[in-house]
Structure 1
Amino acid sequence: MSLHRPVLLTGASGRLGHGLAARLAAAGVVLRLTDRHAFPGALPPGASFTQQDLGDAAAIAELALGCGTILHFGGVPNEGPGFESILDANLRGCFHVYEAARAAGARVVFASSNHAFGFHPRPGEAAARLEADCAYRPDTFYGLSKVYGEQMGRLYWDKHAVESVQLRIGSCTATPQDARALATWFSHDDLARFCLAAIAAPRTGWAVIWGASANPASFWGGDDRALLGWEPQDSAEAWRAEIEGRVSADPLVERFQGGAFCALDWPPGRGRG
């Protein structure tokens, strides 16, 4: 692939997409931005923006024509009120993105999530770090939609030779916010550097990357980052003294990797210990 071909970024008006667009434009990437919501503030230099819903397959296909990579960050970013709330954007929208990539000959970088694995226990005496080929254990319908997206990529690689990189994002915030983030934090700068590497990599096939900075306490082990020549440069350890005491009083939240997402809709009569 090439940094000289345009890059389509879905979800460009969202919490991650907005900042990512600015960083990629500063690195010289020609961006086509899209979101169902208006772009907040001024567009980055050289970028164009089209307000569009992921449900419009023809519009997404048109936006993708000529692009070398689709950074697919669009969709509902949390559990919301249930399955129906994520159905159109996270499932149908993902299908439309992969169809657009197939028609355009583009690579997809799919913003997956740690919540596709949230019910794995945290590493310790009884559990090891997760490897890239571990079993899915989604903690919510949102997490389940990310399993679907990863496997959509698998299908399109096996059947149509559409390359894709599944980025299993941890806690991508400006700074780590709690003790769990000592394992899961992913800095905004590391995210941008990852995207640049994923765009420029000569070949990826269907690849998996744990989306976290270089955190010694990480829940996650090996992945396919060598294909991209990418390594994170930041670490949550710089904030350890400030956040290591920020834990919940809920044993359910503290036991599983997905944290508070695991407790959503937990049956009231079922124990949490």
Structure 2
Amino acid sequence: MRVLVTGAAGSIGRVVTVGLADRGHEVVALDLVPPPEGYQGAWHTADCADRDAVAAVFGAEQLDAVVHLAGVPGEEDLPTEITSHVITTAALLDAMVAHGVGRIVYASSNHAVGRTPRAGLDDGLLTTDVRPRPDTFYGTAKVAAEGLLSLYADRYAVDAVACRIGSFLEEPQVRRNLATWLSHDDCVRMVEASLTAPAPGFHVLYGISRNTRAWWDLEPGRAIGYDPQDDAEAWADRLPDRPEDDVENSVVGGPFPGESFYRPAL
């Protein structure tokens, strides 16, 4: 499969481009920055929010699918977040429709439901059918991007998988990560499953590893072939208790719902 990976120079992008290539896929990379020294594959330097630049990439490449990882990774004002996560997704979807590319895998976020209290969750797990409860403008933009994917799935029969990624880290760093960790290897497994699952339509899954203390339901991922292998529990004895752990563990989004993230929208 020939796959366009946006945000290829980012933390997730660097792992996914190598991982997909190792699994026999042909990667076409796209990022705001030039390729790293020694990179051998196809690379386009462009802004995903620029519809003409995105269209030019699709015109130059024969693509089978898109993995959309580009975007501001933290909290900014609302216009910045909307541009970074919604406008970029729209530009890619329009180019996909124009060029007959039928599959997109999107890096959504747990912050789309980050203000959901953990107390009272059925079986202690958050399912994908809960209402959106974004914890920030970042999370709000992820909700909007998921809505756009749903629209294009219904309107144009695009297969769109939204992966609500937890804590993508080499290893867990704080106690919250015992539930939310997504290992590098499992991230690649998740993306490949999302690329190759037969006709998923619009599908949402939680992007975490097979964590013993998981808060989020893994069944939507397993339904399309994502079978995570790693478990954050191996680090449980190495992580110190912190005063903020109880607060961060009381809601799905960790520290993001807190007042330190409050700011005007505009």
TM-score by length of 2: 0.90
Structure 2 residue identity aligned to 1:228: I
CA distance in 2, matches of 1:229, 1:126: 24
Deviations 1:25-66 (A, max 9, x none): 1222111100112233432x5x21111001221221332352
Structure 1 match to 2:54: 60
1:215 aligned counterpart, secondary structure: coil
Alpha-carbon deviation of 1:267? 6.5
Structure 2 match to 1:271: none
Alpha-carbon deviation of 1:251? 5.4
Query: Aligned Cα RMSD in Å?
Result: 2.2
When structure 1 is superposed on structure 2, of 131-140 and 88-97 the one drifting more is 88-97
CA distance in 2, matches of 1:215, 1:111: 20
Alpha-carbon deviation of 1:205? 0.7
- Any gaps of 5 or more consecutive residues in structure 1? 269-273
CA distance in 1, matches of 2:17, 2:136: 28
2:85 paired with 1:95 = no
Match of 1:85 among 54, 76, 80: 80
2:168 aligned counterpart, secondary structure: coil
How many residue pairs were aligned?
Answer: 260
Structure 2 match to 1:154: 150
Alpha-carbon deviation of 1:211? 0.1
CA distance in 1, matches of 2:261, 2:112: 17
Alpha-carbon deviation of 1:139? 0.6
- Any gaps of 5 or more consecutive residues in structure 2? none
TM-score by length of 1: 0.88
Structure 1 match to 2:192: 196
Matches within 5 A, 1:96-245: 96-104=91-99, 105-123=101-119, 128-243=124-239, 245=240
* Contact 1:174–1:188 (CA under 8 A) maintained in structure 2: yes
CA distance in 2, matches of 1:88, 1:179: 33
* Contact 2:179–2:215 (CA under 8 A) maintained in structure 1: yes
Structure 2 match to 1:247: 242
CA distance in 1, matches of 2:232, 2:20: 23
